[in-house]
Amino acid sequence: MSSSVLTTPSLHHHIHYDKKNKLKSLISLNGIIPPSKTNNLQLELVEPILFLRGIPQESVGCFLRGSFQLLDAGTHVYDFELHIPGDLPETIKADRGRVTYKITARAIRPGLQLNFNVSRNVTIIRTIFDERNAEGIFYTSTWRKMLCYEINVSKKAYLLGESMQVYLKFSPRVQNIRVFGVHLKIIEESTYKSNGQKVTELQSFDVHQFRTDDPDIPIDFDEDGNTYYHISPKIPRCNGPIHYSCKSSGIIISHKLKFTFTVMAPIAGCSRSKKNKFEVEIPITILSCICTDDLPTYNEGEFLTQYNNFGNSQQDQFFMDSPPNYEKSIGIISETT
């Protein structure tokens, strides 16, 4: 468990107090409280990332309870835990709005002495269970009863700046039909709600395009006449204009993979072919670029342990908050011609 460190260079009476808080997930704290004339209070972390778990209604961060206590000069370490609800929106800085968090600590001193106060920004991020993410996204359909196609995306969610793994399969159902080109975009839809008003914005990002007659494009065939392609389009980096997926009461940002297929299809009753295009949109989740593989996630065993430990309290409901579930944002896959 990570801890905060309080450092005082001289003797003084001190109480540490943390207000009721409903913060969520990961916390990054750093910096020093501005010194006063005679005292210097420093807030540090033993670990680079701090987890807070517990009951929001408690003053969980109040380490020294009761009457004022005398602290000797030196370093004093206090552990604390704070439960963070699973439905709390993650930190987001979008074009027309933002969700930010801070954690505030106060050292209360007796008499007329000034209290020490410090606030640090808190970054809350979400990820997806590895087991669910590994299921990937699979979609299959038939275009005008002439071309059967399959789209297989290896994961449900990708980091900003990460390369996706996409597998395409085309199975002709008539003669003289072939896929001529594939164009892939990421569509970002941002919805902002405030004071009864709603604004929706769309952005489009080109991530991959190729023609099937390009000799540099790897292609596989099988004896049944099926054609296979494997592409690795890269999602724009986190320092670009794209945002990661999020959902809150005021800001919703969602993403779709938009495939545009160009095909040469025969014209009925004629020996000629005609160029056609059809589109397929597949919802996908884009994660923050700091959601690395070693990022701690919700653990069901740990979650149940916390619940059992507080089973007799009146705060059971707070331990039954659902972990983040991006699958709820996966809508109906659409196809247009």
- The answer on pLDDT for 287 being more than 60 is yes
Task: Write down the pLDDT at residue 293.
Answer: 55
Task: Write down the pLDDT at residue 325.
Answer: 38
Q: Which residues contact 214 (CB under 8 A, 6 or more apart)?
A: none
Q: Are 81 and 305 in contact (CB under 8 A)?
A: no
Closest CA to 128 of 280, 330, 316: 330
pLDDT per residue as tens digits for the range 83-116: 677 778 889 999 999 999 888 887 777 777 888 8
Greatest Cα-to-Cα distance within the chain, rounded to the nearest angstrom: 97
Q: Are 143 and 149 in contact (CB under 8 A)?
A: yes
Q: Pick 273 or 293 by higher pLDDT.
A: 273
Let me know how long the chain is.
Answer: 337
Helix or strand (DSSP H, E) at 306: helix 300-309
Task: Write down the pLDDT at residue 54.
Answer: 37
pLDDT per residue as tens digits for the range 186-217: 999 999 999 999 999 999 999 999 999 998 88
Strands 166-172, 178-194: parallel, antiparallel or unpaired by DSSP? unpaired
Task: Write down the pLDDT at residue 274.
Answer: 94
Q: What is the mean pLDDT of the segment spanning 215-231?
A: 93
Among the residue ranges 114-128, 140-154, 159-173, 250-264, the one predicted with the least confidence is: 114-128
Strands 147-153, 166-172: parallel, antiparallel or unpaired by DSSP? antiparallel
110: how many CB neighbours lie within 10 A of its CB?
A: 11
Task: Write down the pLDDT at residue 51.
Answer: 38
Topology, domain 130-291+325-336: Immunoglobulin-like (2.60.40)
Q: Pick 51 or 173 by higher pLDDT.
A: 173
Task: Write down the pLDDT at residue 336.
Answer: 73
> Could you give the CA distance from residue 125 to residue 92 in angstroms, rounded to a whole number?
9
Q: Pick 215 or 74 by higher pLDDT.
A: 215
Does this model's pTM top 0.85? My answer is: no
Mean pLDDT: which of 8-12, 259-263, 267-271 is highest?
A: 259-263
Question: 138-146 long-range CB contacts below 8 Å, 24 or more apart?
Answer: 139/280, 139/282, 139/333, 141/280, 141/335, 142/173, 143/261, 143/263, 143/278, 143/337, 144/265, 144/337, 145/173, 146/172, 146/173, 146/174, 146/177, 146/265
pLDDT per residue as tens digits for the range 144-181: 999 999 999 999 999 999 999 999 999 999 999 999 99
- What rounded mean pLDDT belongs to the chain? 74
Task: Write down the pLDDT at residue 162.
Answer: 95
Token pair 């290896």 in the structure block, residue: 154
The rounded percent of the chain whose pLDDT value lies above 70 is 64
Per-domain residue ranges for the chain? 3-122, 130-291+325-336
Token pair 């439960």 in the structure block, residue: 83
326: how many CB neighbours lie within 10 A of its CB?
A: 23
